[in-house]
Structure 1
Amino acid sequence: MSTWEGQDGYLPFAPLGAGGWIRAVLRGLPLALLVFGCLMLLLLVRLVEAPLFGLRRPWTPYITRFVCRNAFRILGIGYSIEGQPMTHRGAVVANHSSWLDIFTLNARKNVYFVSKAEVASWPGIGWLARATGTVFINRDRREAAAQKKVFEDRLLAGHKLLFFPEGTSTDGRRVLPFKSTLFAAFFDQRLHDEMHIQPVTVRYVAPEGEDARFYGWWGDMDFGPHLLQTLGARRQGRVEVVYHPELIVADFGSRKALAEAAERAVRGALVS
């Protein structure tokens, strides 16, 4: 899968200094205990949940939400929302700027991410993604039919799938054109008449005095240095999540028209 590089280059990672390292440890250790401690709890609960409910997950998503809400408290990053998460059956689409999106979008609503297949093999992040019910896909036209079937099965099970139609992350200052491929599943006859799509805009506001792209993680940027920069920041910024009015799939004649409408909503709130 291609990645977005931009024209301004990457942000240089400044040396943390003694204070930065202390802050990184004081934030990083509690965050690791929260994430991996609750991961163990989630896996134990899933041992009971899976045989009883199959694809449905009535309990474990609340553990994920607990982790994500408290991650922002530990990091010291402000978190606010506008609008209301939808209650209808369907999916959520959002712009993609950072690994922080995982915490941001899980903190307020039970959702299941759709991610590129290679994420499943990443140490740490891959384990978390699999445990929390992430749907892994290959962006290969030859597998489109099989992936559409996976989407349909999960949606019929009541899951709210969340995916990033841009197909890659950016520096957080722009929205790339939405790819319409993954919208095709919503036009299946079993789903078409009751599916809703909610566009969501995620806005990261950098700490005072820092580059506007501070929280952005894109292209070939290394995860480790970016994580340390975030943990060691003297001041933190905030993230704002905008839940837009739902789009009713039956109101659109094609997946491209639906993707374009979702893109307009997401882009408009990022620019404003």
Structure 2
Amino acid sequence: MTTTWDSTEPPAPPPPFDTRAKLRAARRILPLALFLILCLVLLLLVRLIEAPLCGARRPVSPVFQGLVCRAFFRLSGIGLKITGTPMRHAGALVANHSSWLDIFSLSAAAPVFFVSKAEVRSWPGIGPLARATGTVFINRKRGEARAQQEMFLERLRAGQRLLFFPEGTSTDGKRVLPFKTTLFAAFFAPELRDLTHIQPVSVLYRAPEGAEPRFYGWWGDMEFGAHFLKVFGARRQGGVEVIYHPPLAVSDFPDRKALAAECEARVRGGMPWDWQKNS
């Protein structure tokens, strides 16, 4: 996990991981793990057929991925609410980034292909899942802008909708960091500008009753394993709301900075006022 953002307010101590918490975690994790392993095997089998027949197009696997992620919320007990409508235009979605749970939240709501930093490819556990689900791995360097444009164009021509996190790091879920504009530049290429839309998405986590508001946030140097067990060992679960804002035509904006600023404003506008004051 990146350490480019950390809170000046330390996270609250996790609740005691006592015998009851261990039993709750086991009751949720064991069936979920078996389910995810089975689904990963099925996804790989689907890709064996889908890849030679459809090439870069993936008409089946994203739908399958969405079903798996919706089942994740049922098995974990975390509530999922979807507000607004995912766009049908060609292009990309941009969202705030609070947790590893974002991957499940955004995949459950609509078929998307994530754009991720290259190092995620080698992360234990998450890396293989990312590769299997068609994640686009990139280096966030301006010198590779042309390569990114070509990669995005290939994916968009194949009918894929991309999703990236312009903050560049995850936070505690109480704020929206300034959007980095580098990836927005790719959509201003002549072959993309008039064809694509960008849809801002706000991802809002609500902690379990009585828990700290940042309960689901995963940031700084937090260990994935400890956070995972904290979430699944909770006595009660909270929920997440995925809020889709109206899509924006890239051609309506003069440059990447203007587009990024408007997307940031839309995403920030979907957050409750009492969370915004700390942004």
Tell me if both proteins adopt one fold, taking TM over 0.5 as the criterion: yes
* 2:202 corresponds to 1:186: no
Letter of the 1:46 partner, please give it.
R
Match of 2:175, as an amino acid?
A: R
> Corresponding residue for 1:67?
68
Match of 1:153 in 2: 154
Q: After superposition, where does 1:114-263 map in structure 2 within 5 Å?
A: 114-263=115-264
CA contact (8 A) 2:83 2:243 kept: yes
Distance 1:153 1:185 in 2: 12
**Structure 1: distance between partners of 2:246 and 2:74:** 28
Gaps of 5+ in 1: none
Q: Which amino acid aligns with 1:206?
A: A
Equivalent pair of 2:145/2:185 in contact (CA under 8 Å): no
Cα deviation for residue 181 of structure 1 reads 0.7
Could you tell me whether the CA contact under 8 Å between 2:149 and 2:189 is conserved in 1? no
Unaligned ranges ≥5, structure 2: 274-279
Percent of residue pairs identical: 62
Q: Which runs of 4+ in 1 moved over 6 A?
A: none
Cα deviation, 1:220-259, whole Å, max 9, x if unaligned, reads 1000000000111000001011100110111101011000
Partners of 1:20 and 1:220 in 2: CA distance:
23
In the TM superposition, residue 51 of structure 1 has moved relative to its aligned partner by 0.8
| Aligned mates of 2:13, 2:267 — CA distance in 1 | 28
Contact map agreement 1:13 1:225 (CA 8 A) in 2: no
CA RMSD of aligned residues (A): 1.1
Paired position in structure 1 for 2:276: none
**Structure 2 match to 1:105:** 106
Q: How many residues are matched?
A: 272
Higher mean C-alpha displacement, 119-128 vs 4-13? 4-13
In structure 2, what is the Cα distance between the partners aligned to 1:5 and 1:132?
29
- Residue type matched to 2:155 in 1? R
Quote the residue 2:7 is aligned against: 6
The secondary structure found in structure 2 opposite 1:200 is strand
State the shift of 1:145 in Å. 2.3
Deviation at 1:2, TM superposition (A): 5.3
Q: Retained in 1: the 8 A contact 2:146–2:186?
A: no
